[in-house]
Amino acid sequence: MAYFYDEPSRTFNEYLLVPGYSSEECIPTNVDLKTPLVKFKKGEQSSITLNSPLVSAIMQAVSGEKMAVALAKEGGVAFIYGSQSIEEQAAMVKRVKDNKAGFVVSDSNVGPDATLADILKLKEATNHSNVAVVENNKLIGLVTGRDYRVSRMSLDTKVREFMTPFKDLIYAKEGVTLKEANDIIWDNKLNTLPIVDNDQKLVAFVFRKDYDAHKDKPLSLMDQEKRYIVGAGINTRDYALRVPALIEAGCDVLCIDSSEGYSCWQANTIKYIKENFGADIKIGAGNVVDEEGFRFLADAGADFIKIGIGGGSICITRETKGIGRGQATAVIDVAKARDKYCEETGVYIPICSDGGIVHDYHMTLALAMGADFCMLGRYFSRFKESPTDRVIINGNYMKEYWGEGSSRARNWQRYDLGGDQKLNFEEGVDSYVPYAGSLHDGLPQTLYKIKSTMCNCGALSIKELQAKAKLTVVSSTSIVEGGAHDVLLKDSTFNNK
């Protein structure tokens, strides 16, 4: 006879945090959201520590190179999606690693025979006012907003006729430090400083406007060479070829992308990577929803473990296969298993809550229940930096968002059970989400909400939150009571989530 759990599995919506004592120190500015990303021994520190407890999902519609840079600037990590060719994924990772803090790799280049119309179209698409003019891989000029006037020029005018030629540019050579570059900018009253190599090839730009912006980003997550930390997703099929390419590109942490992690395929993948590339290569695994799954992946050597099956907003695994577990219950059970494992072995393995996040406060609940960090798909897909197109639906700006198990993504490797190399049926949908602007404008508000709630619980760190949090199950009636009710709402300019 099948095993039956005594209690129903519950979602985050079914819980509330009960306030605790808040001292004078309990103010959001005093809250520290640092949290370990990969495993470590008791008494030691994790080799990678997040400054914000959020990472972006391994999805085509979420984690591209722009998201990776933007999220690293806010203290989190993006996992570049693996449902693409090895070469394309490795190139994405390399472009992220080439973005040293303050050094911006140009994605707005034109040739000298491009026209003013091309410049204006590119500016509209990228919102960049500085365009590099490149010929035969060499920087031959630069176009800024001061180089043309639309009202006095024909749109057919060639770029070579109005660009600032290289001979008239002030530039710096590759190897210049950010401080030296900023000094050149200030001494010469520049807005833009091109960085070129010995062959006059454009390496990056340093912008005057970024000086203050970098001062305002103390959470930036960087390696010892001041390059942004970036992760990448892998599968259980081509890891022998994909992993060395990602390592060569500079990837900091890997994660197996799978709908279900309690399998020999994941154990084999982890074993191969550790034996062939060494323990310094960090790899997350999952997803699991109970102690057995956690213990299996922990014993296999996973550096962090993801929790959640079927809880994503675009995931229909529970509908199509009838398998999964309520996300809150899964996090609570796996957190207990993580703590038990740590007591037995002296090794702490961080756990990641993946899926089931609808409202911002659900992130705080996940952390209070024991998660070290959260992986988010829908949340990050809404921002400008996600790889998808912004479209207008019924007069509103939306972003496209689709699941890796959808026919659009066709990521059969994610659902691999050793059979045919194809997607036999869908486990994800194709959808739209409301556009939310830039990540830098939206994420800080979410983090402030987390900090504010932690203060209500009397906690100034995630570990303190987990030790002090008091959780209560709520009834369906109290859920209704928790929102606005029995009133006629006025239109609001605030985005209440």
Reported as a pLDDT band with limits 50, 70 and 90, residue 350 is very high
As annotated, the active-site residues are 315, 414
Reported as a pLDDT band with limits 50, 70 and 90, residue 101 is low
Average pLDDT, stretch 246-259? 95
Reported as a pLDDT band with limits 50, 70 and 90, residue 124 is confident
Rounded to two decimals, the pTM is: 0.81
The CA-based angle 432-437-440, given to 5 degrees, is 130
- Whole-angstrom distance, CA of residue 390 vs CA of residue 372: 32
359-383 tens-digit pLDDT: 999 999 999 999 999 999 999 999 9
- What pLDDT is stored for residue 415 in this prediction? 56
**Torsion angle, alpha carbons of 368, 349, 95, 268, to 10:** -130
Question: Would you say residue 416 has pLDDT above 70?
Answer: no
Comparing 172-181, 258-267, 422-431, which segment has the lowest mean pLDDT? 422-431
- Whole-angstrom distance, CA of residue 203 vs CA of residue 374: 34
Reported as a pLDDT band with limits 50, 70 and 90, residue 414 is low
Comparing 131-140, 319-328, 442-451, which segment has the lowest mean pLDDT? 319-328
CB 333 within 8 A of CB 299: no
Query: Distance of alpha carbon 112 from its chain centroid, rounded?
Result: 36
Question: Would you say residue 413 has pLDDT above 80?
Answer: no
What single-letter DSSP state applies at residue 168? G
Query: How does 230-252 read in b/e, with b if 16+ C-beta sit within 10 Å?
Result: bbbbbbbeebeebbbbbbebbbb
Please give the structure tokens belonging to residue 123: 């500016």
- Whole-angstrom distance, CA of residue 444 vs CA of residue 247: 31
Question: Would you say residue 417 has pLDDT above 90?
Answer: no
- What pLDDT is stored for residue 98 in this prediction? 81
